[in-house]
Amino acid sequence: QSALTQPASVSGSPGQSITISCTGTSSDVGSYNLVSWYQQHPGKAPKLMIYEVSKRPSGVSNRFSGSKSGNTASLTISGLQAEDEADYYCCSYAGTRWVFGGGTKLTVL
């Protein structure tokens, strides 16, 4: 199976907003509202930031939001902070399997 497609890198200045896209197919992102997003700092385990396309787990800042249109999901981070600099991965359920995106490195300038 192919990984979901994410931009390799995005950047933004503190206080700005950025959006990371995640493009799949009609067999994964397009078929299920079961897209999740993970933040990973160097040397650390991934952390769940968004589930079911747009829901935030308890404790995750409301600066993080998610959406989906067709086969593409998106993660938006508003009011960028230095601590947001990390790798971000999307993941979609695809009917008895899970597929991750290739990851996006977010740089806070």
Partner 1 sequence: QLQLQESGPGLVKPSETLSLTCTVSGGSISSSSYYWGWIRQPPGKGLEWIGSIYYSGSTYYNPSLKSRVTISVDTSKNQFSLKLSSVTAADTAVYYCARHTIAAAAFDYWGQGTLVTVSS
List interacting residues with partner 1 (CB under 8 A): 1, 3, 32, 34, 36, 38, 45-48, 51-52, 55, 57, 89, 91, 93, 96-103
Residues 6+ apart with CB under 8 A from 50: 35, 36, 37, 56, 60, 64, 65, 66, 75
First to last CA, the chain: 35
CB of 48 to partner 1, least distance (A): 5
Instruction: Give 56 or 63: the residue with its C-beta nearer to partner 1.
Output: 56
Instruction: Give 16 or 52: the residue with its C-beta nearer to partner 1.
Output: 52
**Rounded Cα gap, residues 104 and 109, in angstroms:** 15
Kindly report the number of other CB atoms within 10 A of residue 20's CB atom.
Answer: 23
CB of 74 to partner 1, least distance (A): 17
CB of 96 to partner 1, least distance (A): 5
